[in-house]
């Protein structure tokens, strides 16, 4: 009787775990995609700051600026520059 209850509990627990993983699959994919964009944003900001040093412009490299740059690209950098120098 106890073995039967353990088998039933394991089956229900495994089913719930599978359902939870299926529900979280899409948000986890979005998080990894956002982190990948942030990584490319960091690289782009470092290159921009290296080239911008000759022109006298630079941007702070933070998570927010990296995400904005990674997601929006050059228009995102333009918005960050406008916000930095006009505000």
pTM of the complete model beyond 0.85: no
Map tokens 């900001």 to a residue.
45
Instruction: Identify the domain containing residue 55 by its residue range.
Output: 26-86
In tens, the pLDDT along 28-58 reads 788 889 899 999 999 999 999 999 999 999 8
More confident residue, 72 or 30: 72
| CA distances from residue 78 to 13, 15, 34, 57, 75 in whole angstroms, order as listed | 51, 49, 20, 12, 5
Asked whether residue 68 is domain-assigned, the answer is: yes
User: For the chain, what is the domain count?
Assistant: 1
Answer whether residue 17 is part of any domain: no
pLDDT at residue 9, rounded to an integer: 76
Q: Report DSSP state, residue 62.
A: -
Give the separation between CA 9 and CA 23, rounded to whole angstroms: 21
Q: What is the pLDDT of residues 1-16, one digit of tens each?
A: 777 777 777 887 887 8
Has residue 53 been placed in a domain? yes
Q: How far apart are CA 64 and CA 80, in angstroms?
A: 10
Q: How confident is the model at residue 20 (pLDDT cuts 50, 70, 90)?
A: confident
């Amino acid at each position: 009787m106890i073995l039967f209850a353990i088998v039933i509990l394991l089956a229900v627990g495994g089913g719930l775990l599978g359902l939870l993983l299926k529900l979280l699959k899409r948000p986890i994919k979005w998080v990894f995609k956002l982190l990948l964009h942030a990584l490319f944003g960091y690289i782009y900001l470092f290159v921009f700051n290296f080239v911008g040093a000759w022109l006298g412009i630079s941007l702070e490299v933070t998570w927010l600026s990296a995400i904005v740059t990674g997601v929006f690209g050059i228009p995102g950098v333009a918005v960050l520059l406008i916000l930095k120098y006009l505000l």
